[in-house]
Chain A
Amino acid sequence: MNVKMEKQAEQQETTQQITMVQAVNDAMKTMLEHDDTTILLGEDIGKNGGVFRATEGLQELFGEDRVVDTPLSEAGIVGTSVGLAVNGFKPIAEMQFMGFVYPAYDQIMTHVSRLRMKTMGKYSVPMVIRTPYGAGIRAPEVHSDSAETIFTHMPGIKVVCPATPYDAKGLLIAAIEDPDPVLFMEPMRSYRAQREEVPTGKYTVEIGKGEKIQEGTDVTIIAWGAMVPVAKQAAKQAEQQGMSCEVLDLKTLYPLDRDLIAESVQKTGRAVIVHEAHGTGGLGNDILSVINDTSFLYLRSPIERVTGFDVPVPFFALEEHYLPTPKRILQSIEKAVHF
C-alpha cells in the first residue's frame, strides 16, 4: 500500500484490537505517513524493530533515512535530535530503557529543556523522547528504573505516561505534534498486558489532562502508567470491604491536571497517591501539595502515599518487594478511610 492509499484507509472510522506496544507502533506509523519531517532515531529500532518491537516494520515502510539505527550513544541521539528539531525536523528519539537515559541527561537538562526560554522563543525543540520504564518484568539491573521525577523537576519539558493502548496512541501523536519537548514514558509491564479497541486513523488524547477511570465516594486513588492496574486491583479489594474508591489516571505528569485532582479529592475528602518511583522527592509530593493548595479544607484524613522505597530499584529477585502492591495500597486506603 502506498502512503496515499494508507491515508484514505485511515479516514474510515475503523478500530482494531491491539496491545499498547502495537498502539505505540501505530502512532509512529501514522505520523511518519502524515508528516514527512518526522524522523525516528534510536538503538536497534530499524532492522530489529526495537527490543520491544515498538518500531517493528517501520524501517521497511519508510526507509533507513527516516527510521534510523544510530550508534550506541544516548547523548548523541538526543543532542543531534536538538539540531534536527531546530532545523525543520520532528525527531522521535528512543531510549532503549529509562535506565539508559542518564547519559543523555546532560543534553536534556542543559539544552532540550531550556533552549526555547533562553532564545526567547526563537528556537524551540519539538522532539519526543520515548522510553520504556518500570519494574516487574524480571529485567537485568538498571533496566527497571522509573525516573520521571528528575524530568518533571526539569522545567521546559512535558512528561507523559499512558496506561492503556488507546491513550498510548493518542498521547504519542499529541506529543509528536506538540511544539515543545515531551518525555514519553511507556510502562513496559503494560506493553502486552491488555488489548483494546484503538482507532486505526489519526486521533489525539490531550496532554495535560487526566481521567477519572472509576467513580467512588470514600477515597481518591491517584496513579499513572503501570500502577494504574495495580491501583484498580486495590480499589476492587477495598470495595469488597465496603470502601468506595475513585480512581484517577493522571496520564500527564507535567503539567499536572490540577482540576481533576482537586475535584475528586474535594468530593471524597481522602487521597492515596500511588507510584513506583522512590518516595523521597517523588512526584507524589507534588500531587500532595496540589491537594494542599486546592483542597485543604475538604480533607478528612492525611493524604497517603504508596511508593517505591528509597532504595535503588533492586535486582529482580526483590522487585516484588520494591513495587507497590495491592496489599500496600489497601493498607493506605484503610488508614485514610478509618482515620
Chain B
Amino acid sequence: MEEHFPMKKIIDDQGNLIDSSYENDIDEELVRKLYYHMSRIRLFDRKAISLQRQGRIGTYPPFEGQEASQVGSALALDSDDWLFPTYRDHGAMLTFGSDMTRTFLYWNGRAEGCVPPEGKNIFPAAVPIATQIPHAVGAAWAEKRKGTKNVAIAYFGDGATSEGDFHEGLNFASVFKTPTILFNQNNGYAISVPIEKQMNSKTIAQKGLAYDIPSIRIDGNDVFSVYFETKKAVERARSGEGPTLIEAVTWRTGAHTTADDPTKYRPEGQGENVVNPIERLENYMKNNDFWDEEWIAKTEAELTQEVESALEAMEKYPPAKPEDLFDHVFTNTPPQLVEQKESYLELIGRE
C-alpha cells in the first residue's frame, strides 16, 4: 500500500530543490514569509516551554519539529476560511491570525484564549481527540450550502485516526462532498504509542481510499511541499471537488507535553537524523541566494519583541472573574444559575 502513496518532497534535507517544476513558484517573498512564520512560532513555542517550567503557565504541548506542517498549511488558506485545530496546533492558529496574548492566556487556563479575533473563523483547540474533524466537515458543508467558496481545514494527529470521529467525519465529507481539508500531522507518536502500534496500516493517507477521498502523503518537514499541496487541496475544495486527506509526515522533537517524559518510551537517538524544518529552509535559502543576514537578524529581533510584549500583556491581563464561570454558559442565564452566582459572589465577597 505504501507504494501507492509515495512521499512527496520539493526540497531535500540539505535544501536542494528536487522537484524543479516548482522553481518558478518559489520567490523571495514566499520564502521570507515561510521563514518568518516558522521562526515566529518556534520562538513562541520555546518561550511557552520555559514559562511552564517557571510555573507561569500550565501544562503545555510543544510542537517543535512541526513548524513546516503548521505554517505551510495555514498560509495556504484564505482569510475567510475556517480552521479547526487540536491542542498542538497553536502554531497554525497563530499563523492564520490568532492573537498571541490570548494564546498564552489559553495555556494559562483562561477561556479568553479561545476567543478568535473579530472576523476570523478559528475554533478553540480541540482537546478530546478527533472530535473536531466532524465540525470541520459541518462548517465546510455549510459554506457549500451557502454557495460561498470558503473551505475548512481540520488538523489532527496520527493517533486521532483510530477514533470513530475520524472515520465518521471522513465518511460525511465524502458523502456530502464538502470542501474540507483533512490535515494530518503524522508525528510518529500518540503520547507513548508509536505509529506501528497505533495501526497496522503503513500510511495514514491510505485511510482516505476507503472513503474515496483523494489522499496524499507529503514530507511534512518540507514547508514547500506542505504549502503547495495544501494549496492544491484548497483549490480543489473551492472549485467544488470535495475533500482531500493530507498526511504530512513529520516528527515531534520533544515531549508530548511538559508533563511527559519521552525517554521512557523512545529509543535513544531516535529522530536524531531528522533535519528540522527551519534548518531545511535555511539550507535552501543559503543555496539559493535568499539568505540575508541583515534581514534575518532584524526579523529575529522583531519577533523576540513581539513574543515578549505578548507575554507581558498576558501577565498584565486582569485576573479571571468568578462571574465568568456563570455568565457565558447560556445566552440568557436561567434563574437557578443566577441564584448560584449571586449566592456565591455574596459568600466570597464577605470577609
Which residues of A pack against B, CB within 8 Å?
43-44, 46-49, 51, 69, 71-76, 99-100, 102-103, 138-143, 279-280, 309-312, 314-319, 321-322, 327-328, 331
A280 touches B336 (CB 8 A): yes
A316 touches B109 (CB 8 A): yes
B329 touches A311 (CB 8 A): yes
Please provide the 8 A-B residue pairs with the shortest distance between their CB atoms, ordered closest to farther: A316-B109, A48-B192, A71-B162, A72-B159, A317-B320, A317-B109, A321-B322, A72-B162
Instruction: Quote the shortest CB–CB distance from B91 to chain A (angstroms).
Output: 17
Pick the contact of A69: B164, B193, B347 (CB < 8 A): B193
Binary interface encoding of chain B residues 147-166 relative to chain A, with 1 for a CB under 8 A from any of its CBs, else 0: 00000000000011011110
Is B58 located at the chain interface by the 8 A CB criterion? yes
B198 touches A309 (CB 8 A): no
Pick the contact of B128: A100, A321, A322 (CB < 8 A): A100
A69 touches B163 (CB 8 A): no
Complex CA–CA separation, A76 to B130 (angstroms): 14
Instruction: Quote the shortest CB–CB distance from A278 to chain B (angstroms).
Output: 10
A51 touches B259 (CB 8 A): yes
Count chain B residues whose beta carbon lies closer than 8 angstroms to a beta carbon of A. Answer: 43
- Given contacts A311-B337, A316-B109, A318-B324, A140 and B163 within 8 Å (CB-CB): no
A47 touches B264 (CB 8 A): yes
Which residues of B pack against A, CB within 8 Å?
58-59, 87, 106, 108-111, 113, 127-129, 159-160, 162-165, 190-193, 197-199, 259-260, 264-265, 319-320, 322, 324-326, 329, 336-337, 340-341, 344, 347-348
A99 touches B128 (CB 8 A): yes
B198 touches A72 (CB 8 A): yes
A51 touches B325 (CB 8 A): no
Pick the contact of A310: B164, B265, B337 (CB < 8 A): B337
Chain A's closest residue to B60 (CB) is A140
Complex CA–CA separation, A309 to B217 (angstroms): 47
B265 touches A47 (CB 8 A): yes
Complex CA–CA separation, A321 to B324 (angstroms): 10
Complex CA–CA separation, A48 to B340 (angstroms): 42
Complex CA–CA separation, A312 to B324 (angstroms): 12
Chain B's closest residue to A307 (CB) is B340
- Given contacts A309-B340, A312-B329, A69 and B197 within 8 Å (CB-CB): yes
- Could you say which residues of chain B place their CB within 8 Å of the CB of A327? 347-348
15 new A-B contacts at CB < 8 Å, known A43-B191, A47-B192, A311-B326: A71-B198, A72-B129, A72-B159, A103-B128, A103-B163, A140-B87, A142-B127, A309-B340, A309-B341, A310-B340, A311-B337, A312-B329, A315-B111, A317-B110, A321-B348
Pick the contact of B344: A48, A309, A317 (CB < 8 A): A309
A318 touches B128 (CB 8 A): no
Instruction: Quote the shortest CB–CB distance from A285 to chain B (angstroms).
Output: 13
Complex CA–CA separation, A279 to B198 (angstroms): 39
- Given contacts A73-B162, A73-B163, A321 and B190 within 8 Å (CB-CB): no
- Could you say which residues of chain B place their CB within 8 Å of the CB of A309? 325-326, 337, 340-341, 344
Chain A's closest residue to B351 (CB) is A327
14 A-B contacts, Cβ less than 8 Å apart? A48-B191, A69-B192, A99-B127, A139-B59, A140-B58, A140-B109, A142-B128, A279-B340, A309-B326, A315-B106, A315-B113, A317-B110, A321-B325, A321-B348
